[in-house]
Chain A
Amino acid sequence: DAGVTQSPTHLIKTRGQQVTLRCSPKSGHDTVSWYQQALGQGPQFIFQYYEEEERQRGNFPDRFSGHQFPNYSSELNVNALLLGDSALYLCASSLGRDSSGNTIYFGEGSWLTVV
């Protein structure tokens, strides 16, 4: 049983470019959340997708957008990249939204470096 898988694992982009990160949730999970983790910091919640809709959003600008597909996989898009967008982007999946004791599984992340 594959856990949460993310791609690519590493990538380098130039300021102003756009990037798309991909996530496949753990089998049986229907909820996907995205997080940004800067070096030495805890993850910051970007948004959560459930039933193909953005259900919750953290304090991130509109340059950050996403999508969830019918098979529950998800994409994170970041436009007009800034140097400060350099971080580890984590995808997490769960069955249902984060309530009570549902276990949340994280992928290994996508390292984005903006130069």
Chain B
Amino acid sequence: KNQVEQSPQSLIILEGKNCTLQCNYTVSPFSNLRWYKQDTGRGPVSLTIMTFSENTKSNGRYTATLDADTKQSSLHITASQLSDSASYICVVTASGGSYIPTFGRGTSLIVHP
């Protein structure tokens, strides 16, 4: 069964600090991995997309890494801002005819001033 596990479930940091969110998956065969930011009550917004051959992708202060061998990904947030407070969701899609994405439950990040 395809699964995506994210850790930690929630995280509280001070403004200006860095943090790293983790994503482990068992989805196979692998097509792509995406990180989304979802503000409370809003739709998810895409941060990064990585395919099998990519091991790092940046979007401003967000940097995602992918290790396809260990089936792990991380999202690093640099110099956090209050507006980074949100849920961060890891989504992995399989290839080979079935394109149903598997969503993690998300990591809830709270940035305090």
Residues of B within 8 A of A4 (CB): 43
Surface stretch bound by A, among B12-20, B62-70, B71-79, B95-103 = B95-103
Residues of A within 8 A of B41 (CB): 88, 109, 111
Main DSSP-derived SS at the B contact region: strand
A42-B89, A42-B106 are contacts. A97–B43 as well, Cβ < 8 Å? no
Q: Is the CB of B49 within 8 A of A42?
A: no
Report the nearest A residue to B94, measured CB to CB: A98
* 25 contacting pairs across A/B (C-beta < 8 A): A40-B105, A41-B105, A42-B4, A42-B89, A42-B104, A42-B105, A43-B89, A43-B103, A44-B103, A45-B100, A45-B103, A88-B41, A90-B43, A98-B31, A99-B93, A101-B32, A101-B49, A103-B46, A104-B46, A106-B36, A106-B43, A106-B44, A106-B45, A109-B42, A109-B43
Chain B residues with a Cβ under 8 A of chain A: 4, 31-32, 34, 36, 41-46, 49, 51, 89, 93, 95, 98-106
Chain A residues with a Cβ under 8 A of chain B: 4, 35, 40-45, 48, 55-56, 58, 88, 90, 97-101, 103-109, 111
**A44-B103, A56-B100 provided; 13 other pairs, C-beta below 8 A?**
A42-B104, A43-B103, A45-B101, A48-B99, A97-B99, A98-B31, A98-B101, A99-B31, A99-B93, A101-B49, A103-B49, A104-B34, A108-B42
